[in-house]
A and B are shown apart, each in its own frame.
Chain A
């Protein structure tokens, strides 16, 4: 109402200007809504045909028009969780190093390099994973695990080089710069006075970090980890290149498997009708899962709290979005 009155008051051109920008803004809303609606609606035939059995059966056979997503779901969850398990200690350790330990004049260039690596395209991580990491793993770590722990089901089978372990490690490397950059930023938001006060009381750096820095930036770090998780779940190309693309329930970390995103990449060119709809159902699930994860992450960044680092978070979000991660 107020907008209309203002528009009338200030003449037509002013009104046109306002409505053009309004239209552009609404366009973005319409885009987000229509991506969700279109992908969901097009996946409806598969949902009608299979319902919950899509999520509980494990046979994926386009020839027989039978689609069960359990292998892809499990592959996605296992690779993403493993990736985060590897990346979390490394990236938080790196963030603490960059924000608390490294000398002032080294901090900016080093953080800059880490942030830069968030910009390296995923296909390049995939290329490196396929030609450098996978051969190393086949003869090195993978062979070692197969030889010494092969009696355990999760390390059973020959060391192929490609498979769940390789995909998880590539994902871990990919999310590392993102998690490090955001959690480092949150830690730097803790006021220097608090650090100085702790040091003045004779605390060691370990005590400053565990008693002041981490507690006051924990929700920001949790948000960073969730965004890393969301990225790992949605990643398509790098995973497709190193996971081996076998649509089987991943029984062993050394075995090839499939994730939801890699399944879509592999099958979309030949997919029609129900098959395509099944792939779209996977995309819908991917959309919903990443949306929920990102919403929880946003809640961690924005929730009103007594965190000293709270003020830093708005700018962290913006910075992160600029990077598009």
Chain B
């Protein structure tokens, strides 16, 4: 009987420890979001979102150029990565069992494990040093490399969800492989493909090291792709590590904008994935 009581007590202790661990984890993570919201909300406003950074000590100023720079570089990255990666995913989906596909999947996974800092240094050495300047173009290319494995692997998974019975039906009606892919497989998986791209965009938008090493930053509006370009993560990094109180406050404001954008992308992606799963 005491043995049974001991087991019950041990079980309760264990459950309490797990609840404690979960509470610590959730409280700490909630604290981060809480601080970003509390310190950022007073800073964010129309002027903050639309104006250039002000010099130290001058009131006002904002993150307009960093916002545009981030949008542009992430967009550029997606523009490069999406077609290539979806084509690669179509190849993996069409030749699922071939040795080459296994090798491509392996390389893609290796790519996904490369620290983003190394990707930044790679583009820095190949583009920035060769052309002699930091640029939005180099930033976009670095971000496309960050996005590539995420888009490819999620796209392959989404394409595989299109049932083979439908593909066989299409082929049986005389459609070629190409027609089957373009008229059946890609449209059928479109929702899932978009979700994968959204997650990749959210990931790229938050990258600091690759953008810092390739686009650096700028205090002016973007004029060409060949110039150093500001971005939200780099601005947060610079302002946070600066000794000026108003810049530090702006770092929190920029963090609120960035975190909101990334979380909205993630929530939308997850919800639409959940909805489409339920429909299926």
Contact = CB atoms under 8 A, between A and B. Distances in A.
Contact of B240 (A17, A130, A293): A130
Interface in B5-37: 7-8, 10-11, 13-15, 17-22, 24-26, 28-29, 31-33, 35-36
Given A27-B88, A290-B115, A132 B21 contact: no
Nearest to B236: A123
Nearest to A26: B104
B32 A173 contact: yes
A227 to B, nearest CB: 8
Contacts of A96: 18
A128 B178 contact: no
B15 A10 contact: no
B207 interface: yes
B18 to A, nearest CB: 4
B122 A35 contact: yes
Contacts of A128: 31-32, 35-36
Contacts, number: 284
Interface string A208-245: 01000000000000000000001001111100010000
A110 B23 CA distance: 11
B79 to A, nearest CB: 15
A205 B88 contact: no
Interface stretch (B41-49, B218-226, B259-267): B259-267
B247 interface: no
Nearest to B176: A14
Contacts of A246: none
B212 to A, nearest CB: 7
Contacts of B262: 119-121
Contacts of B14: 204-206, 209
A49 interface: no
Interface in A91-117: 91-94, 96-98, 100-102, 110, 112-117
A16 to B, nearest CB: 8
B199 A21 contact: no
B138 interface: no
A116 B266 contact: yes
A124 B255 contact: yes
A200 interface: no
Interface stretch (A62-70, A146-154, A188-196, A278-286): A278-286
Interface stretch (A52-60, A137-145, A249-257, A316-324): A316-324
Nearest to A314: B157
Interface of A is mostly: helix
Given A26-B104, A33-B107, A122-B208, A290 B25 contact: no
A261 B115 contact: yes
Nearest to B28: A173
B199 A324 contact: yes
A312 B213 CA distance: 38
A233 B7 CA distance: 40
A98 B25 CA distance: 12
B154 A265 contact: no
B19 to A, nearest CB: 6
A88 to B, nearest CB: 10
B54 interface: no
A21 B110 contact: no
A71 B157 CA distance: 42
A91 B178 CA distance: 46
Interface of B: 7-8, 10-11, 13-15, 17-22, 24-26, 28-29, 31-33, 35-36, 39, 83-85, 87-88, 90-92, 94, 100-101, 103-104, 107-119, 121-122, 124-126, 145-146, 148-150, 152-154, 157, 176-178, 181, 196, 199-200, 202-203, 205-209, 212-213, 216, 233, 236-237, 240-241, 248, 251-252, 255, 258-259, 262-263, 266-267, 270
**Leading 5 A-B pairs by shortest Cβ distance:** A93-B21, A121-B206, A234-B115, A204-B11, A24-B87
6 contacts: A35-B122, A127-B252, A234-B115, A236-B208, A268-B124, A324-B112
Given A121-B262, A322-B196, 15 more contacts: A93-B17, A98-B22, A101-B15, A116-B266, A123-B233, A176-B25, A204-B8, A206-B11, A237-B212, A264-B117, A268-B213, A286-B115, A287-B118, A294-B113, A321-B154
Interface of A: 10-11, 13-14, 17-18, 20-29, 31-33, 35, 38-39, 42, 89-94, 96-98, 100-102, 110, 112-117, 119-128, 130-132, 173, 176-177, 180, 204-207, 209, 230, 233-237, 241, 261, 264-265, 268-269, 276, 279-280, 283, 286-287, 290-291, 293-294, 298, 317-318, 321-324
